[in-house]
Amino acid sequence: MKALVFGGAFNPPTRAHIDLAEAALQQCGCDRVIFVPTKMRYIEEDQKKNFAFTDAERLAMLKSIAKNRSWMEVCDYELTAPQQPRTYETLCHLKEQGYECTLLFGSDKLPELEHGWKYVGEICRTFGIAVMERSGDDCQAVIDNDPYLSSLRPYIRIVTTPESYHGISSSTVRQLYSSVLKDLEEIRALVPEELDGLMGYLKKETES
């Protein structure tokens, strides 16, 4: 089974995560997109985010979204591992499970590959990469103007995305969620309907 492997914080999952992943699935001719959330500890300590939903919360969010989407799967491999696995290790794990994997990520990750990632060559040669254009990025120009990325070009597939999703981000949702006066309707517009504007999580916060 051909699968795009989409790792990330998903803190929280947004409509952009879900709809753009489905668009990538169709453009790449794959059968599944596997969402792989990272550990909360990694989000807070390595990515330096000031707020993170718990591992259990983010996993539950993704599973609720996947329930009625036959093309979407959720993998807890990184959450249950003793330490945060490298992306290459996650891809190898899923390959062992019988998937023919391709790594999927947003174009904002391209500049990080040379110095922020490990095993990039192995990822490219063994799995390949599908890159979703974000926020008006011209992926082809970014690659052409960078000697390192140009060397990886044979392994990279560029996925075009609707501009209407470029402004949707988890950080925007977190800001709305963390504000004193939470705008539930605005949150609902940015997250999948299954999350009901994060109402379940807002209720937990109110009850605590």
pLDDT (tens digit per residue) in 64-100: 999 999 999 999 999 999 998 999 999 999 999 999 9
What percent of the residues of the chain are helix, what percent strand, and what percent coil, each to the nearest 5? 55, 15, 30
**For residue 184, pLDDT beyond 80:** yes
Give the residue, 128 or 54, on which the prediction is more confident. Answer: 128
Give the pLDDT of residue 50.
Answer: 64
Rounded CA gap, 12 and 169, in Å? 9
Whether the bond into 12 is cis, omega within 30 of 0: yes
Q: Which domains occur in the chain, in start order?
A: 2-166 (3.40.50.620)
Q: pLDDT band at residue 22, thresholds of 50, 70 and 90?
A: very high
pTM value? 0.92
Give the pLDDT of residue 206.
Answer: 46
pLDDT (tens digit per residue) in 156-177: 999 988 877 777 889 889 888 8
**For residue 125, pLDDT beyond 80:** yes
Q: Which runs of consecutive H residues, i.e. helices, occur in 29-135?
A: 40-45, 55-66, 77-80, 87-96, 113-116, 120-126
Specify the length of the chain in residues.
Answer: 208
Contact in structure between 127 and 102 (CB atoms under 8 Å): yes
Rounded CA gap, 22 and 94, in Å? 19
**For residue 203, pLDDT beyond 70:** no
Burial class (CB in 10 A: 0-12, 13-18, 19+), 146: middle
Give the pLDDT of residue 60.
Answer: 95
Give the pLDDT of residue 208.
Answer: 47
**For residue 207, pLDDT beyond 70:** no
Q: pLDDT band at residue 49, thresholds of 50, 70 and 90?
A: low
